[in-house]
Amino acid sequence: MTTGLVTYYGQTPTIDQLIENYGAYLEKLDRETKLLLRTVLTNYVFMRERHEPSSYTLIEASRDALFVTFLGMDTPQLLVDICSQLNGLTTHEAETIFEALQHQIRWGNAQIEKSGKFDSALNKKNQIIVE
């Protein structure tokens, strides 16, 4: 099951701009960047529910996600650029992009490489067909 949905619901001008810059399937972003963006978006939605929504930005969410500690390096510039571009993102837009990233990471163009005995045994046990 390989598809490349960018959004399920709620195409907006902000999301259109993201697609224009990174491709209709966000194919210009590698798996790591998509995983990091998914983490930032999760933090952003959570924190906006705990604070005044207009006072919390995606840039702050990226800093708060502790990438310096988590990755042992500064936040990747590409992620900073994406967060800057998405300035003013609504919670609905964040969740829409999150759903698309989740789909791509699990089923689409950013899924983990399938190799090795573990994947083969798991597929036989659960009768999962992997393309």
Residue 7 falls inside a structural domain: no
For residue 5, the tally of other CB atoms under 10 A from its CB is 13
Residue 1 falls inside a structural domain: no
* pLDDT range class, residue 127, cuts 50, 70, 90: very low
Domain count for the chain:
1
Residue 82 falls inside a structural domain: yes
For residue 18, the tally of other CB atoms under 10 A from its CB is 23
Residue 3 falls inside a structural domain: no
- The mean per-residue pLDDT over the stretch 104-116 comes to 75
Q: Give CA–CA dist 131/124, Å, rounded.
A: 14
pLDDT at 55: 80
Output the six-digit token pair for 48.
Answer: 């906006």
Q: What is the pLDDT of residues 10-60, one digit of tens each?
A: 688 999 899 999 988 899 999 989 999 999 999 999 988 887 777 888 888
Residue-range definition of the domain harbouring residue 122: 13-126
The packing angle between helices 31-50 and 91-106, to 10°, is: 150
Q: What is the pLDDT of residues 56-107, one digit of tens each?
A: 888 888 888 866 566 666 778 899 899 999 998 999 999 999 998 998 888 8
Residue 4 falls inside a structural domain: no
Residue 118 falls inside a structural domain: yes
Per the CB < 8 A criterion, the answer to whether 62 and 94 are in contact is no
Residue 52 falls inside a structural domain: yes
Nearest to 48 by CA among 57, 36, 59, 35: 57
